[in-house]
Chains A and B, each alone.
Chain A
Amino acid sequence: MKLQANHDMGGLTAGRIVPREHTYEPWEKRVDALMMLLSNKDRQLLKVDELRRNIETLGPSAYERMTYYERWMHAICQTLVQRGVITLDELGRRMEEVKARGALPDEGAG
């Protein structure tokens, strides 16, 4: 049985470091902003360790496949559902509405 969790990777062998970086896209910054706003002491609707737990419980293949802010978005959403801030029903309906609108990623943010 593998006891070492997928995210707990210190000391494993891995390839050469690719010095990659990119300018964060607006949607990525908004995901970051969501986390900052929700965890803010005035709201306290999300704890950073809840976010991390919800990232860590992604299966290894999802963890590797998803981008950094996709993992965050998944975890923010899970935390909000776990806490009852939003329901899966309203989320599922709203996501379909957003798709049907053909919304641009920035819609509603300006």
Chain B
Amino acid sequence: MNAPPGAPHDHTHFRDDEASISYYRTMEIAVRELLVEKNVFSLADVRAQIEAMDARTPARGARVVARAWTDAAYRERLLANGAAACEELGLELGPLKLVVVENTPQTHNVIVCTLCSCYPRMLLGLPPDWYKSREYRSRVVREPRRVLEEFGTRLPDAVSIRVHDSTADMRYLVLPMRPTDTDGMNEAQLASRVSRDAMIGTTVIDR
């Protein structure tokens, strides 16, 4: 299902779609061919880009979170400058500016982009469909508690909610609270407890 895109063996997988190839798929092929002919990039560049994309999964964000849970000084650096702290772990964020927002017993954070779909893709990969949906983008800034309930997350009124609307050059990652049943776990074990949605802030990690 996750065969390397663009690899020749994908062709058999797509034969069924041959008749219904859509307007925009046709456009993608045409534009890509034209740009390769104009030496804007090569097919190898496209493949490399997709491989890099496939390598970016929520496991990256989870590594950052697990380190912050186990190393107080790292946590400080992460909250002070997200991108620099990620680079310490070999996670190159490119031009991305990262603001890490920390959940506490008093405050819960959740991220959204109401204008388009800005997302910490270098740490979490491509966003899920619901993150880009009209429903999520419209509602989470206005009624975050009801939206979180739809994700099964119920927060008492005593816990304040901070919604972060990614409207410009910053990207956000939620640093969830460390579950209480994780004493003695190593970083890898901790990372396996960190879900993508907990780093978006729509869920909390069960403790």
CB-based contact B130/A43 at 8 Å: no
Tally of A interface residues using CB under 8 Å: 62
Whether A30 touches B139, Cβ cut-off 8 Å, given contacts A7-B116, A37-B45, A70-B24, is no
CB-based contact A80/B31 at 8 Å: yes
Instruction: Give the A-binding residues of B (Cβ under 8 A).
Output: 1-2, 5-8, 10-11, 14-15, 17-18, 21-22, 24-36, 38, 40-41, 43, 45-47, 49-50, 53-54, 95, 112, 114-117, 126, 128-130, 132-139, 141-142, 147, 150-151, 165
Give the distance to chain B from A82, nearest Cβ to Cβ, in Å: 14
Give the distance to chain A from B185, nearest Cβ to Cβ, in Å: 28
Give the distance to chain B from A43, nearest Cβ to Cβ, in Å: 7
CB-based contact B129/A20 at 8 Å: yes
CA distance A15 to B146 in the complex (A): 11
Which single member of A26, A37, A107 contacts B49 (CB below 8 Å)? A37
Provide the residues of chain A in CB contact with B6, threshold 8 Å. 26, 30, 106, 109-110
Whether A108 touches B130, Cβ cut-off 8 Å, given contacts A8-B114, A27-B28, is no
Give the distance to chain A from B153, nearest Cβ to Cβ, in Å: 12
CB-based contact B1/A23 at 8 Å: yes
CB-based contact B29/A17 at 8 Å: no
CB-based contact B27/A34 at 8 Å: no
CB-based contact A74/B24 at 8 Å: yes
Q: How many A-B residue pairs have CB under 8 A?
A: 189
Whether A90 touches B34, Cβ cut-off 8 Å, given contacts A10-B114, A98-B26, is yes
Instruction: Give the B-binding residues of A (Cβ under 8 A).
Output: 7-24, 26-27, 29-34, 36-38, 41, 43, 45, 52, 55, 64, 66, 68-70, 73-74, 76-77, 80, 85-86, 90-91, 94-95, 97-99, 102-110
CB-based contact A98/B126 at 8 Å: no
CA distance A60 to B27 in the complex (A): 21
Provide the residues of chain B in CB contact with A66, threshold 8 Å. 24
Whether A110 touches B26, Cβ cut-off 8 Å, given contacts A11-B138, A14-B138, A85-B40, is no
Give the distance to chain A from B120, nearest Cβ to Cβ, in Å: 15
CB-based contact A68/B5 at 8 Å: no
CB-based contact A26/B132 at 8 Å: no
CB-based contact A109/B25 at 8 Å: no
CB-based contact B151/A17 at 8 Å: yes
CB-based contact B53/A10 at 8 Å: no
Which single member of A12, A21, A64 contacts B138 (CB below 8 Å)? A12
